Chain A
Amino acid sequence: SQQGEEDPQALSIQEGENATMNCSYKTSINNLQWYRQNSGRGLVHLILIRSNEREKHSGRLRVTLDTSKKSSSLLITASRAADTASYFCATDGGSNYKLTFGKGTLLTVNP
């Protein structure tokens, strides 16, 4: 069963706009991670946020975590066509050794 579920399933925006994706999960976690996957490629790790953190930034990425609501959001600011990809959240379900991935959000950034 999927631990994390992303919302929306697909998102289409114009270059320069911000993109927000959400992730909900079911059980307690040690950390939550976000990954990007370009078409036909492997996943690339973007950012990790620990359960005792509420917000984290990396370049144009901002991740928030609300453990009381079991949810996270990924914000990409000033999006570019190169940001077109699928984005996945992954949770560890309290384990230090394995991640469970959601089904992903397909982001399309139109030039």
Chain B
Amino acid sequence: NAGVTQTPKFQVLKTGQSMTLQCAQDMNHNSMYWYRQDPGMGLRLIYYSASEGTTDKGEVPNGYNVSRLNKREFSLRLESAAPSQTSVYFCASSLGQGGGYTFGSGTRLTVV
């Protein structure tokens, strides 16, 4: 099925551990995004990639790094996880130039 695929769906980390969240889209979209969703906070943009080869910080980039591996894949890395990074993470993609986003189903991350 066409769309945005995120892995893993669930993850529990200990404080200080690292991990990479994977995201891939098969819609030939140019732009990709990582958001986090916390209760009462809505969605907040962590990083985005307007096109292959570019990445930019969003609203809450601290503690995260990203890699736009190719046009299809955009990964999010937590180098040293902290309890404040407990959240649901969503990857999204779009054609860019103001189009609608297609979201993945999310990764529920708990840092203990």
Residues of A within 8 A of B (CB): 1-2, 30-31, 33, 35, 41-45, 48, 88, 90, 92, 96-104
**By the criterion of a CB under 8 Å from any partner CB, how many residues of chain B are at the interface?**
27
Partner of B97, one of A44, A96, A102: A96
Q: Are A33 and B41 in contact (CB under 8 A)?
A: no
Q: Is the C-beta of B65 less than 8 angstroms from some C-beta in chain A?
A: no
- Which residues of B sit under 8 angstroms from A100, Cβ to Cβ? 45, 59
In the complex, what's the smallest C-beta–C-beta distance from B89 to chain A, in angstroms?
11
| In the complex, residue of chain B having the shortest beta-carbon distance to the beta carbon of A40 | B106
> Looking at the complex, which one of A31, A33, A48, A98 makes contact with B33 (CB distance below 8 Å)?
A98
Within 8 A of A (CB), among B9-40: 31, 33, 35, 40
A102 and B68 CA atoms in complex are apart in Å by 26
Across the interface, do B48 and A97 meet the contact criterion of CB distance under 8 Å?
A: yes
Show 28 A/B contacts (Cβ-Cβ < 8 Å), sorted by A. A1-B59, A31-B98, A33-B101, A35-B101, A41-B105, A42-B4, A42-B103, A42-B104, A43-B43, A43-B92, A48-B98, A88-B43, A92-B98, A96-B96, A96-B98, A97-B31, A97-B48, A97-B50, A97-B96, A98-B45, A98-B48, A99-B45, A100-B45, A101-B42, A101-B43, A101-B44, A103-B41, A103-B42
A41, A92, A99: residue with the most chain B Cβ atoms closer than 10 Å = A99
